[in-house]
Amino acid sequence: MDNLDFSVVWKFRDALAWGLMMSLLLSGICSLAGTVLGFFIALCQQSRFRAVRWAAALYVEVLRGAPTLITLFWVFFCLPIILGVEINAFWSSIIALTLYMGAITSESFRSSLKSIGQDQYDACNALGLAPATRTFYVIAPQALIRAIPNILSNVISLFKESTLVSAVGMVELMYTAQSISNITARPIEILTAVALIYFVIGYGFSWVVSSVELRIRARVQS
């Protein structure tokens, strides 16, 4: 084992910071877009029309049953051919991660929608609310608040899955780390530093999630 030299990490701090920023940006955009998508998928799963329900269920099964890496490759290699447009690594990453986030988040919404009692629906019907009013003013706000802890932990999963996009050449933290370790031939220092960066962010965020969860649970029960 040769002697370790961690100064190489400091030398490449700008590149690593840029990579980290791209990772966070990707996770941020896809979390927001995926949450909206997941909410609509969850609504579709409760639809009156069987075709809509089945389509939504199929979407969730496929996206959750197949590895995210394949979704990513499918979007990167196949979607441009099918649509006949060029999709670069950035947009492929955004699309694939949003689809993934949508699938796992729809499950969170589905369980939170299920936790809302039938009496709420009955009360809406008794008040003569239109189905859209019922969904958006009565059911959705309650479902949203109950789903928040789950969605936040999905965001952590998404942040971890975002390392995959380095496989299609999207420049984020993992890609930057691998390039630097190839150039400098110092994989141990760089990869350890990057693992620690991921750990600090992932651990910090999961700490935030558990404290938010406690507060929401206290509020929902009262």
Partner 1 sequence: MQNLDYFFIIQAWPLFLKGLWVTLYLTFWANVAGLIGGALLALCTTGPYRLLSAPAKLYIEFFRCTPALVQIVWFFFCVPILFDVFWSPIFMGVVILGMNLSAFNAEAFRAAIQTIPRAHVDAAVALGLTPFERTAYVIMPQALRYAIPVLITNGIGLFQQTSLVALVGVDELMYNGRLISTSTYRPIETYTFLVLFYLAVSIPIGRLAAFIEARSDRALKA
User: Contact positions toward partner 1, by CB under 8 A?
Assistant: 1-2, 61-62, 65-70, 73-74, 77-78, 81-82, 84, 156, 159-164, 166-167, 174, 178, 181, 187-188, 191-192, 194-195, 198-199, 202-203, 206
Angstrom distance (rounded) from CA 208 to CA 202: 10
Q: Which is nearer to partner 1, 5 or 122 (CB)?
A: 5
Alpha-carbon distances of 19 from 181, 182, 188, rounded to whole Å: 14, 16, 18
Closest approach of partner 1 to the CB of residue 216, in Å: 20
59: alpha, beta or left? (left if phi > 0; alpha if psi -120 to 50)? alpha
Closest approach of partner 1 to the CB of residue 172, in Å: 11
Tokens (6 digits) for 78: 């196949």
Angstrom distance (rounded) from CA 142 to CA 122: 15
Q: Which is nearer to partner 1, 211 or 222 (CB)?
A: 211
Q: Which is nearer to partner 1, 62 or 130 (CB)?
A: 62
Closest approach of partner 1 to the CB of residue 128, in Å: 37
Angstrom distance (rounded) from CA 52 to CA 121: 21
Closest approach of partner 1 to the CB of residue 132, in Å: 32
Q: Which is nearer to partner 1, 21 or 127 (CB)?
A: 21
- Say if CB 138 and CB 124 are below 8 A apart: yes
